[in-house]
Structure 1
């Protein structure tokens, strides 16, 4: 808006009035005065956690995402996730080394510095961390009290200091936010420049409110912000009939949002880091790497070269923990080929590429592993036989039956890994191959790195798993399916057998069964259906 300069006298009066107002605010300590607002809030700076939220379902809430919802005041972990997952160890190390210097700068300069280190040169098209990696860590940092307050409103407008590409998908998909107000990272020729665009958050928000695109009152809303304010707020308060403030002292008393309170189950997430990368935790990781990488290579080498009968024991001496439980049934025979011309089919849930190998360690005998996709490197160094499947029903059935004629066979009917306490839908193909089916429940424990990924080369997955200080594998070999529960002996359909095995494994692990598939996972995490081009 522009005003006409009617006269020097008017301009002089305006300048004098401005100077007097400014000096008054400074002397009285009221640098954020609200006395010249046409529409004053009916409640100013109330505590949202102690306020009845009834009747807000038809109202609009404008809130500061980082200050209102997140318990932690530090944004470093989220930038480290971007730096590490998008740029690897080197970019993560640069961010860690730059962080102490960034802390000496003002908030805006510090933010710009971290954005530049994390984003410069990263491909915009392949950037999916906002939907694949960051949501898990945002959810684990939500305050329950603030979450309940925000979700009570019918329409939600989020203001963020982070680049929109980091938070927009999480806010819209998980919290149902209608509009995200924030800045973008500039892009040049398909890659981020690392430079934040001009701060248009305040004008965007004021324009949105001024256009009346709100629920309930067409001209007013409810505001919820933290201290300090995310931007100059005088015009914003003119549109707020109530304002709630979140103080650092209040946030320290918040409880973490329980998993059962998540807007939807957290089933899929990606990324290598299994811990929240705070500055100290990240420093510990980099201090561990000079020892962890050689240790990982040693573990992989021992697993490949040593006989299966002693591999588990030797690996345990390096810190890898393996727990095995077998059925109490005295008739359980781990070596059926001595008494039969056909091997046992072990159907297990899928945690990492190492599942069949650790099952071989547990049984102390070589098994064949039916796999859908495996890198040439991992296939070359595998200590057990691999049976590559082509997702052709008849061909795959023939290959699996041929393998069972020579050895026992391990199958992961989920078709892909799942990190959380859920089981994906079991493909029923294995049920038609054999009537000798033994379910195996598998769980893994890691403290630093995940040994699975949906993006990037999978040949590094075993290395990352073995790079953990004390990775653990738990295998529960369950009772062999009775003949009446199989297709050949009991007349069951393939789907019935697959669902029964899924329920058996889920019950042993305390997991939850789902109908989700490999395609669902890769659409969420990688934006494709998960198919791997044949290298033949």
Structure 2
């Protein structure tokens, strides 16, 4: 009887492609997430990201082992039971602050690459937008509000201990599916039902039947919405994985780890005995591609100050690659460096103190000794944006060579905010065939330096623009502090909402 009712309801609902988006500015819409606003119907990859990035590799492996049970429960016994299994193994014992940080720093990037174009056309046209989902609200709320422009987000609520840890169980009324979705919509809207409802599966039909118009999103291939078309661009994201960990991708990644980590150690440590002139040959025969473009600047004459390479910040190994690409020894100037990075660095490193006068004196002294590489963004950014440049370097040299760097990786990012930064070089080299490109731009003419009458800020902004144009990136006024506060908060927790600055 229930199946007959579901079948009759499905026949009653038109497909979303037949829904007009015209004149919806005053309308209210309620939409499901997985399979509706997102093209993907499975939430497993996002639970795996929470388990890995918020918890540990061991937790991710355990979740992957039990995921077939969740799949069987979901498809053949109970949708609720399948979701509860995923929640338990992904969440149980995790700090809620860690889950929230992953929801802000990792998940939005992957969610935003999978937004359903037909659903988005209707959802974005409505004046008031609500998301209702079986996923834990803590996972999806940040993305739904910032990128989709949702005014409210209703999802499954998780149990939390007094100490701020997730128990792995869910709060009353349980997983937000079927009748729970219907009751939530009825409670929120009462006698004034929403104009539009969107769903994709039988358990969505109850809440959809309350709406004045309801449309079903069929399971078929459609284009994803370009990320720039969403409500807010993603500038910062974190996490080690490059690709969404679908079951197949997750399996291949886990199988690669026993090969990839020893390979990364060999690539890092094996390059140490070689001179900078011969490192590119070593990289070539170990599967690392180094691409050098532009003209290498000439070596400084004896007694002259060294060249200051001003480099975009893609990974922790940027100065190493600049040194190798230029064929000379370069000192790397950084605000902080881990013990392990210092041990495996083939070039000299120097940590600044954040005391402006002392740092300026130290940089001048280092330039008198030879070439220097500095990353004035202060931190890495994976998206095609450049962060605001510190102007300190511009006051200290008139031999400035901008260097545009970029990377291409397929499995692991060589940067992190929340993880152990000392492992960044190893994660970069753990990719099967990592690619690093170094592009030397022309040395700044004297009239574009402080010596030529420009202010330090003007010089920094000019170099930022040159590098952005060379890479096809966009300049921003975001800083290192903005990145860290947005991703994890100053105390490691989710910070309060604040307005962000744009140039």
Q: TM-score, normalised by structure 1?
A: 0.86
Task: State how far apart, in whole Å, the 1-side matches of 2:396 and 2:229 are.
Answer: 41
* Residues 49-80 of structure 1 deviation map (CA, whole Å, 9 limit, x = unaligned): 23222221111111111131111112221111
Q: Give me the CA root mean square deviation.
A: 2.2
Does residue 225 (structure 1) correspond to residue 199 (structure 2)? The answer is yes
Question: Could you tell me which residue of structure 1 aligns to residue 483 of structure 2?
Answer: 521
Q: 1:53 aligns with which of 21, 39, 52?
A: 21
1:359-418 CA-partner distances (Å, limit 9, x unpaired): 111122211111011112212332211121122221111110010011100010100001
Distance change in 2, residues 1:294/1:219 (3 Å)? closer
Aligned to 2:398: 435
What is the rounded CA distance, in whole Å, between the counterparts of 2:184 and 2:82 in structure 1?
A: 28
Distance in structure 2 (CA, Å) of the matches to 1:297 and 1:129: 28
Deviation at 1:169, TM superposition (A): 1.0
Whether 1:466 aligns to 2:433 is: no
Partner of 2:71: 103
**Which secondary structure does the structure 2 equivalent of 1:465 belong to?**
helix
Q: Residue 198 of structure 1 aligns with which residue?
A: 172
Q: Would you say the 8 A contact 1:272–1:453 is kept in 2?
A: yes
SS of 2:126's equivalent?
A: coil
> 1:29-58 CA deviation, whole Å, 9 max, x = no partner?
235777xxxxxxxx9512332322222111
Partner of 1:112: 84
- Work out whether residues 314 and 405 of structure 2, in 8 Å CA contact, stay in contact via their aligned partners in 1: yes
Query: Matches of 2:297 and 2:485 in 1, distance apart?
Result: 41
In terms of mean alpha carbon deviation, does 510-519 or 431-440 score higher? 510-519
**Structure 1 residues 211, 277: CA separation in 2 closer, same or farther (over 3 Å shift)?**
closer
Could you say which residue in structure 2 is the equivalent of 1:493?
Answer: 455
- Give the drift of 1:274: 0.5
**Pairwise CA distance, 1:339:** 4.4
Inter-partner Cα distance in structure 2 for 1:404 and 1:529: 36
**2:107 maps to 1:134:** yes
Structure 1 spans left out of the alignment, 5+ residues: 1-24, 35-42, 531-536
Q: 1:260 to 1:174 in 2, by over 3 A?
A: closer
Gaps of 5+ in 2: 493-503
Residues 113-122 or 182-191, more deviating:
182-191
Q: Indicate the structure (1 or 2) with the bigger Cα radius of gyration.
A: 1
| In 2: Cα distance, 1:258 partner to 1:32 partner | 34
Q: CA deviation at 1:146?
A: 1.1
Contact 1:367 1:384 in 2 (8 A): yes
Instruction: Provide the rounded CA distance (Å) in 1 between the counterparts of 2:205 and 2:5.
Output: 16
Q: Deviations over 1:483-513 (max 9, x none)?
A: 011001x100111111111111111111111
Separation (CA, whole Å) in 2 of partners of 1:515 and 1:151: 28
Q: Is the 8 A contact 2:30 2:194 kept in 1?
A: no
Range with greater deviation from structure 2 (463-472 or 95-104): 95-104
SS in 1 for 2:199: strand
Secondary structure in 1 aligned to 2:305?
Answer: coil
**Residue aligning to 1:256:** 224
Asked if the contact 1:302–1:311 (Cα under 8 Å) also holds between the matched residues in 2, the reply is no
Question: Could you tell me which residue of structure 2 aligns to residue 506 of structure 1?
Answer: 468
Would the aligned equivalents of 1:519 and 1:529 in 2 still touch at CA under 8 Å? Answer: no
2:286 pairs with one of 299, 313, 318 = 318
Partner of 2:498: none
1:27-106 to 2 correspondences below 5 Å: 29-30=4-5, 44-106=12-74
**Structure 1 Cα separation of the partners of residues 222 and 334 of structure 2:** 46
How has the CA–CA distance of structure 1 residues 275 and 204 changed in structure 2, closer, same or farther, with 3 Å as cutoff?
closer
Cα distance between partner residues in 2 of 1:211 and 1:198: 17
- What is the rounded CA distance, in whole Å, between the counterparts of 1:445 and 1:385 in structure 2? 26
Q: Given the alignment, which residue of 280, 283, 287 partners 2:255? A: 287
User: What CA distance in whole angstroms lies between the structure 2 residues aligned with 1:208 and 1:241?
Assistant: 13
